[in-house]
Amino acid sequence: MRTIVYILTFVSLCSCLASCHRQRPQLPSNKRSEDTTAVAMINARRQLVEATDREITQFMTTQDSTFVLNDLGFWYQITSRSSLPRFLNNESVELSLREYDLQGRLLSDIHTTIVIGKRQETLVVDEALLLMRHGEKARIIAPWYLAYDQAGNDIIPPYTNLIIDIQTHE
């Protein structure tokens, strides 16, 4: 009888110890786990951008020293100055654009009218126009990520760094 009591006590003690194991807390529903694929893609894009910046910096050593690096990351040079007023955001402007790759091959020649800031052209063209005055001409050296990005378009291949000649018409 005594053995049975010891066995039952032993079994109940073991079952109590086994059930005392704490359950792991659940992650809160508003806390997300890290998406490693997204992080890898962001890092890959960052490396591409850094390589592009090095390539353009190297290219700029062969160019005229009057180019200025904009805060956004493109180089520009006003090639024909004007004393007319500067362009403003939401202003309509008639312009001619000639886009070349860094080897000097003409990719597109466009004559159009756009509204500045409406992204009817690339981001770099919108930003460059805000630096210009009516009637001026400028040359822009634009990295792909400020021009047509990784998608390109029907004419401009993906990841193409551009030389853009802009001429505004009065």
Domain ranges for the chain, please list them: 64-169
Q: What is the pLDDT of residues 39-95, one digit of tens each?
A: 888 898 899 999 999 999 899 888 878 899 999 999 999 999 888 889 889 999 999
Q: What is the pLDDT of residues 79-117, one digit of tens each?
A: 998 888 898 899 999 999 999 999 999 999 999 999 998
Distance between CA 147 and CA 55 in Å, rounded?
A: 15
- The CATH number of 64-169 is 3.10.50.40
**pTM for the full predicted model:** 0.75
- Identify the H or E element spanning 128: helix 123-130
Distance between CA 55 and CA 76 in Å, rounded?
A: 16
